Structure 1
Amino acid sequence: MMDPTTNGMAPLAVQEKIPAARASLKATKSQRQTLVATGMGNALEWYDWGIYSAFAIYFATEVFNPKDPLAALLGAMAVFAVGFVARPVGGLLFGWMADHLGRRASMISTVGLASFGSLMIALVPTYNSAGAWAAVVLLTARLLQGLAHGGEMPSAQTYIAESAPASRRGLWSSLIYVSGTSGIVIGLLFGVLLNTVLSKPDMQSWGWRIPFVVGALLGLYTLIARSRMKETEAFTAAKATVRQPMWPEIRRNWRSALRVIGLGVGGTVCYYVWSVSAVQQAVLIHKMDQGTALLASVLSNVVLIISLPFWGKFSDRFGRRPSLLIGTGAPIILFPLLVNTVGQSFWSLFLPATIILVFMGATLSISPAVFAELFPTRIRTVGVAVPYAVAVAVFGGTAPYLQNWANASFGPGGFTIYVVVLLAISTLVAWSLPETRAKDLTG
C-alpha cells in the first residue's frame, strides 16, 4: 500500500536527490551507445515475433505437407505458440545469468541465440526435400528464440533502469516499448515491401526467407554493439557484497512477483488486441481491405511510439502510480466503447486503436522502471523475468485463440468482458503499489 508518510510521493531524501541529478541530464556518448545497443536487441525480439506471424502464410506449405494448406498453417502457428511456452524457461535461465554473471553477459547471449534462431528459419529445408525433419528444424529454431526472448526483455529492462539517471528513469525506460513497437512496425512494412516487389510464387518459394536473413544479420550487428557495453554500476556494487542464495531471496519477494503478473495481464492482452491482432480481426470480421487495415495499424503504432517518451517524462515528474493508473484505468472505459467502432474504413480502425494505445502508453512506457524498482539488485532480473514471461505466455499467448473462441461462442461482448476484468486487476495492483519514483537501485 501507499506509504502514508510520503503522501504518495517519493521519500524526501529521494526528492532532494532529483534536482542534483538534473545537473547532468544530457546523455553522454557512452550512454547513447548503450541506449542504441539495448534498443536494437529489444526491437529485434519483437521483429522476430512479428515476421514469423506475418510470413507464416507463405512458409507453412514449404515446411509442412503442402497437400493440406490449412493443416500446414495450423502446424506453423502451433510452432509459433511453442515459443511462448519456452519464454518462462528462458526467463529463468537468462535471468539467473543476468543476476549472477552480469546484465551485459545475459544481453549478449540472448541476442546471439535469437539471431541464430532467425538464421535457422532462413535456412530451414522444405518438406519436399527433408520431410518431417523440416518441421523439426523450425520447431528447434522457435524453441531457441523463445528461450532467448524470455530473457531478452527482462535483461534489457533491468540494464536500462540501472543505467538511467534516477530522475530520468521513466524516460529512459520508455525505450523498451519504443524499440519493441518499432520492431513490429518495421516487420509489417517489410511485409508490405516484399509483397509489392515480389510475385506471390516468389514469396512462396524463397521471398519469405529474406526477413529472417535480415533478422540474423541485425542480430550479429547488435551482438557486436552489445559486446562494447559496460556493466551497470548497481550490479558491480552488488557483486562486491556477500551474495545470498537466490531462492530464499525470491521467496521473500513473492509479492513483487505477483505484482509483475498483476500489472502485466491487462496490458498484455489489451496491447495484443490493438497493436498485433487488429489487422487480422479487421479483415476477417469486419471485411476491411487488408492494405487499409495494415496502414491504419502501422500508423496507430507510430503514434504510440511518439507518445511513449512523454509518458516516461510524466512519471518522472508526477510519479509511477498516477501513470500506471491512467494506463490501466482508462482502457477499462475505452475498450468496450471503441471495440465496436471498427468497420471497413481506415478511420474506423486508426482512431480507436490510436486512442486506446496512447492511453496504454502511460503504463507501457514505464513498466521497465516500475519492475526494476520492485526488486533488490541481486534478483532484479530473474525476479522480473519469470513472472513476466508467465504473464505473457498464459495471457498473451492465448489471446488470439480466446478472442476467436469467445467471439464465436458469445459474440464480441464475451471477450470484451474478459479484457475489462484483466484491466481491472491490473488497475487494482497499480493502486496498491508504493510510489517508487527515483528510487535508489543499488540496494
Structure 2
Amino acid sequence: MAANTTINPTGTGNGVRQIAAAGVGNAVEWYDWYAYSFLAVNFSGQIFPSHDPTASLLSAFAIFAAAFLLRPIGGLFIGNLADKIGRKNTLSLTILTMGLGSLIVGLTPTFDAVGVWSPIILILGRMISGLSVGGEFAANSVFLVESAPANRRGFFSSFQYVSTTFGQLIASGLAAALVFNLGSAGMNAWGWRVPFILGAVLSLVGLWIRRGAAETFIEPEKTKRAGVFDALIKYPRQSLLIVGITIAGTITYYTWTTYLPTYAKANGSLGQGPLLLMSTIALVFFMLIQPLVGALSDRIGRRPLLIGFAAIFTAGIIPGLYLVSRSGFWGALGVMMLGMLVLSGYTSISAAINAETIPTHVRAAGIGFPYSLAVALFGGTAPLMGTLFAEWNNPGLFGWYVMVLTAISLVVYIFLPETARRPLPE
C-alpha cells in the first residue's frame, strides 16, 4: 500500500450522505448518456440526413459507440487523478464535464443549418461525455465501496446501478412523455433537445450535493503517488480479470436496458411510445431490486450471483429477444422484467467485485481503464452491432453474438475466487 494512502475499513462519513453524493451525480451522468440512446431515432435524421432512415440511425449509433472509445481514456487518466487528489474532487470534475457535453448536444444545429459542422459539434459533445463517464465510474465505484462498512460493501455497491438506473429512468420517462405529447413531428423538430439542456442544469445540482460528501481517500505524498500506468504494469492479472468480469455484464446491460426498445421496434409490432413506457416500468423494478440483491451478496457471496446471471443469460438471451419482439405489451414487459432480475446478479455487485480485486493506491485507475475498455468494446457497440445485423437482413445473429460474449464471462466467474468476506486489498 502506498505511504499515507488509506481508507476507513469500517466506512467513511455518513452512509446515507455518501450514497446520496455518489448517486445524484451518477444519475445525472447517465441520464444524459441514455437520453442520447433513446432519442437517436428522433434527431438522427436532423444531424445525418439520408433517404434511408436506418442509415441515419446507424450514423447516430456509430457516434454513440465512438464516445465509448474515450471511456477507457477517461477511466485511466481521470481515475489516476482520483488516486492522487481524492475521489470527491474528481467526482466534482466529472459532473461538470458531463453537463458541458450535454449542453453541446442539446444546442447542436441541424445539418440543414450549418452543414457538416452539425455532426462535428455533436461528436464534440459526445466525446466530452465519453471522457466524463469513464472517469465517473472509476471514481464513483471506489468512492461507494470505500464508504461502506466491511460487511455491507455489496449493499453500498448496489447504489451504483440504483443511481444509474434512476438517471436512465428519468431519461426514459421524459422521452416517453415528450413522445406522447409532441408526437413524432414535434420530437424530430425540437423536442429531442429538451432532455439534453435539462441535463446541463441538473449537473449543477449534482455538483452542489457532492460538495457535502466526505473524502474516502487520503492524498499520498507526491513522491509516492501512483503513475498513470502503474495499475496496468504492476497488476496485469487483476486488470485482465476486471475485463473478463465486465464483458457479460456490459453486453447484457446495454442490450437489455438500452437497445431493447429499438430492437423490439425494428423487429416487432409495438410502437416507440408503448416500448418506452414498457422500458420505464421495467426500469423502476430494476432500480428497486438492486439493494436487495446487493445485500444478498453480502450474505452468500459474489460468485453465486455472477454465475447464475451469466448462465441464465447465456441460455436465455436468444429466446428472450424473440419473445420481447414477438409478444404483446404485457408479455414483452414480463420477459423484460425477468431479464432485469437476472441482470441484477451482476449490476448490484459490479462496483464491489471490482474494488475487491485491486489495491487501494491504484484502485480508481486500475478499475477505470479495464472496465471502461470492456464497456467500450462490448457494451457501447451493442446498439451498433444490433443495427448492423438488421441492416444485413439477419437481426437474429445479434442474440448469438450476445450469447458468446456472456459465455466467456461465465467461465471467468466459475474460476473467480470469492471476495465478499475478505478485506479490501491494500
TM-score normalised by L of structure 1: 0.86
Q: Given the alignment of the two structures, is residue 173 of structure 1 paired with residue 169 of structure 2, yes or no?
A: no
Distance across 1 between alignment mates of 2:103 and 2:45: 19
Partner secondary structure for residue 192 of structure 2: helix
- 1:419 alignment partner, one of 382, 402, 414: 402
**Which residue number corresponds to residue 357 of structure 2?**
374
The offset of 1:240, in angstroms, is: 9.3
State the percentage of identical aligned residues: 36
Taking structure 1 as reference, are residues 133 and 371 closer, same or farther at Cα in structure 2, changes over 3 Å only?
same
**Which residue number corresponds to residue 87 of structure 2?**
103
**Which residue number corresponds to residue 205 of structure 2?**
221
Taking structure 1 as reference, are residues 412 and 209 closer, same or farther at Cα in structure 2, changes over 3 Å only?
closer
The offset of 1:413, in angstroms, is: 5.3
- 2:314 alignment partner, one of 299, 317, 332: 332
Distance across 2 between alignment mates of 1:332 and 1:200: 36
CA-to-partner distance for each residue in 1:155-175, whole Å, 9 max, x for gaps?
A: 110100101111111001100
- Whether the 8 Å contact between 2:231 and 2:239 is mirrored in structure 1 is no
**Which residue number corresponds to residue 78 of structure 1?**
62
- Whether the 8 Å contact between 1:238 and 1:442 is mirrored in structure 2 is no
Bigger shift: residues 350-359 or 374-383: 350-359
The offset of 1:290, in angstroms, is: 3.0
- 1:253 alignment partner, one of 212, 230, 235: 235
The offset of 1:127, in angstroms, is: 3.3
Distance across 1 between alignment mates of 2:223 and 2:422: 20
What are structure 1's unaligned runs of at least 5 residues? 1-17
**Which residue number corresponds to residue 149 of structure 1?**
133
**Which residue number corresponds to residue 143 of structure 2?**
159
**Which residue number corresponds to residue 290 of structure 2?**
308
Distance across 1 between alignment mates of 2:392 and 2:187: 35
Bigger shift: residues 170-179 or 240-249: 240-249
Distance across 1 between alignment mates of 2:222 and 2:105: 42
Q: Given the alignment of the two structures, is residue 320 of structure 1 paired with residue 320 of structure 2, yes or no?
A: no
The offset of 1:394, in angstroms, is: 0.8
The one-letter code matched in structure 2 to 1:93 is: F
Distance across 2 between alignment mates of 1:353 and 1:256: 33
What are structure 2's unaligned runs of at least 5 residues? 1-8
**Which residue number corresponds to residue 439 of structure 1?**
422
> Any residues of structure 2 matched to 1:2-401 within 5 Å, and which?
30-65=14-49, 72-198=56-182, 200-232=184-216, 235-236=217-218, 242-243=224-225, 245=227, 247-342=229-324, 343-401=326-384
Partner secondary structure for residue 230 of structure 1: coil
The offset of 1:441, in angstroms, is: 3.0
The offset of 1:110, in angstroms, is: 0.8
Taking structure 1 as reference, are residues 336 and 64 closer, same or farther at Cα in structure 2, changes over 3 Å only?
closer
The offset of 1:105, in angstroms, is: 1.8
CA-to-partner distance for each residue in 1:283-340, whole Å, 9 max, x for gaps?
A: 2112223333222222222222122111111111111212222222222233244333
Distance across 1 between alignment mates of 2:245 and 2:40: 31
The offset of 1:221, in angstroms, is: 0.9
Taking structure 1 as reference, are residues 71 and 335 closer, same or farther at Cα in structure 2, changes over 3 Å only?
closer
The offset of 1:138, in angstroms, is: 1.6
- Whether the 8 Å contact between 2:155 and 2:298 is mirrored in structure 1 is yes
The one-letter code matched in structure 2 to 1:60 is: S
Taking structure 1 as reference, are residues 295 and 104 closer, same or farther at Cα in structure 2, changes over 3 Å only?
same
The offset of 1:144, in angstroms, is: 0.6
Partner secondary structure for residue 299 of structure 2: helix
The one-letter code matched in structure 2 to 1:376 is: P
Distance across 2 between alignment mates of 1:246 and 1:338: 41
Distance across 1 between alignment mates of 2:397 and 2:153: 38
Taking structure 1 as reference, are residues 75 and 169 closer, same or farther at Cα in structure 2, changes over 3 Å only?
same
The one-letter code matched in structure 2 to 1:403 is: G
Partner secondary structure for residue 323 of structure 2: coil
Distance across 2 between alignment mates of 1:274 and 1:68: 26
- Whether the 8 Å contact between 1:237 and 1:442 is mirrored in structure 2 is no
- Whether the 8 Å contact between 2:29 and 2:98 is mirrored in structure 1 is yes
Distance across 1 between alignment mates of 2:256 and 2:145: 27
Distance across 1 between alignment mates of 2:342 and 2:53: 40
Distance across 2 between alignment mates of 1:124 and 1:339: 34
Taking structure 1 as reference, are residues 66 and 292 closer, same or farther at Cα in structure 2, changes over 3 Å only?
closer
The offset of 1:248, in angstroms, is: 4.5
CA-to-partner distance for each residue in 1:72-94, whole Å, 9 max, x for gaps?
A: 54443333232112111111121
- Whether the 8 Å contact between 1:292 and 1:345 is mirrored in structure 2 is no
- Whether the 8 Å contact between 2:231 and 2:365 is mirrored in structure 1 is no
Bigger shift: residues 333-342 or 59-68: 59-68
Distance across 2 between alignment mates of 1:107 and 1:34: 12
Distance across 2 between alignment mates of 1:198 and 1:248: 51
Taking structure 1 as reference, are residues 80 and 246 closer, same or farther at Cα in structure 2, changes over 3 Å only?
closer
Distance across 2 between alignment mates of 1:241 and 1:169: 31
CA RMSD of aligned residues (A): 2.6
Taking structure 1 as reference, are residues 420 and 70 closer, same or farther at Cα in structure 2, changes over 3 Å only?
closer
Distance across 1 between alignment mates of 2:355 and 2:375: 18
Q: Which is greater in Rg? A: 1
Distance across 1 between alignment mates of 2:328 and 2:85: 52
CA-to-partner distance for each residue in 1:218-268, whole Å, 9 max, x for gaps?
A: 101111222232210xx2176699445553443221111111111111121
The one-letter code matched in structure 2 to 1:415 is: F
Distance across 2 between alignment mates of 1:335 and 1:65: 34
Distance across 1 between alignment mates of 2:131 and 2:332: 34
Partner secondary structure for residue 257 of structure 2: helix
